[in-house]
Structure 1
Amino acid sequence: MAGRPPEPATTTVVLSVDDAVATIRIDRPEKRNALDTATRAELIACLDWAGATPDVRAVVVTGTGGSFAAGADLGETDRIDPLAMRAMLRERRVYHAVAECPVPVIAMIDGYCLGGGCELAMSADLRIASADSVFGQPEIALAIIPGGGGTQRLPRLVGLGQAMRLILTGDRIDAATALRLGLVEQVVPAGELEAATRELCGRITRHARPALTLAKQAVRASAELPLQAGLALETELLCLASTSDESAERLAAFRRGS
């Protein structure tokens, strides 16, 4: 399609596009989709590609083989030098790529969603899970702490007390509990996950990409800005949205219909 950049080459991630939705599947089932360096880099490349592709209006991140992502690939981090770790963690990370992607990102979760995998899901804009999914931040059992945003994003989703409980105990929770706490937005039977995600994406992608991008930016800013600053940003983004061709066309169609 004209205007579409070349797709990135991948070996541990599968990228596909259908009906304005880019689906990015982590494909390391033998490792329960644990996130190693190569997989993280490929996820970033695919997310950047989707963000730069004009006909993509939503992204789905998921895993193959009955796991979303069972955490980091700890074999890579064995006895890593702390200074080297600090340098590595200060580089652009996959969690930032999800948050920075200009279109909505939906985590489609089935099976294990633990550690870095749970942090990947939390960095998405929406989370839909199968009833068989399992969530947790088990890092404390290894005498470490979450390092992919878990200590920051989890409290924003479930509240300070529940985040403390999950991080300090390392407990795993089921999908029903994750829904009750606000860690996910929707839970469906395992056999209905793909269809439910497609339906959710369809309700998003029917809207204009510029509006989706600006709405995502405004809502995400609410977690970081004081109320008055957030309201000021909202005003500026609304004015910017109104300048798009899509806005003019849809407002004209609405007026004709009324």
Structure 2
Amino acid sequence: MNNRKEQLAAINRLLDIMDDLREKCPWDKKQTFESLRHLTIEETYELADAILDNDLPEVKKELGDLFLHIVFYAKLGSETNAFDIADVANSISDKLIDRHPHIYADVKVDNEEDVKRNWEQLKLKEGKNSVLEGVPKSLPALVKANRIQDKVGGVGFDWEEPHQVWEKVQEELTELNVEIKNGNQENIEKEFGDVLFSMINYARFIGVNPENALEKTNKKFINRFQFLEKAAKKEGKEIADMSLAEMDVFWNKSKKYFS
């Protein structure tokens, strides 16, 4: 692996390249914070995919793409004297030192939960009006629910035992079934949301990241269905013309390969 001197030289090289691109490349010269935003979101999802696939060469590649965006935003900031890459690095360094008094000061912690609790309390002292202010509005709903529960749990608003959360899940399922029988679609949607929210909370208590778990299931389903499609074609069949029983034969075979 590269030593610290080599690492800093590599970052300096990227900064020099960014300067060149901003000065000489027609596409790079036109970019703004707004034009890069959707590309940054896309790069973040590509990194997330590579992590779930445990594809470390791809993780390295996607980290590079994301790092370029950070450097690009810093370059844009420097052009209006708002901030530069040093300000970005110093800002996060200062925050990390302030948020880790158990390392850089004399605060004592016993476990990870103490660290998270201190983190949220420190944010409130910094001027936040709510522990939920840091949850981005544009997060996907499932991820947002997980972050909301994690944050309020960090200040003690939480269940004590996993079985209590599971009982809440059962309660919400019962309420959903009542509304399904009543046939009120608006109430059905509301109770279905409550079921999802309670399941996401339960995932936290049993050490499961719900976003990762669901995405792995998505990938598993895609692999199994595509296996079904290929197997059907090999036998000269079209899925649309097959019965569910016929499809189930191939589907069950796919489970041997994608579990």
TM-score tier (shorter): under 0.3
Bigger strand share: 1
- Which of 1 and 2 has higher RCO (CA within 8 Å, sep 6+)? 1
Bigger helix share: 2
Structure label with greater radius of gyration: 2
State the TM-score, normalized to the length of structure 1: 0.23
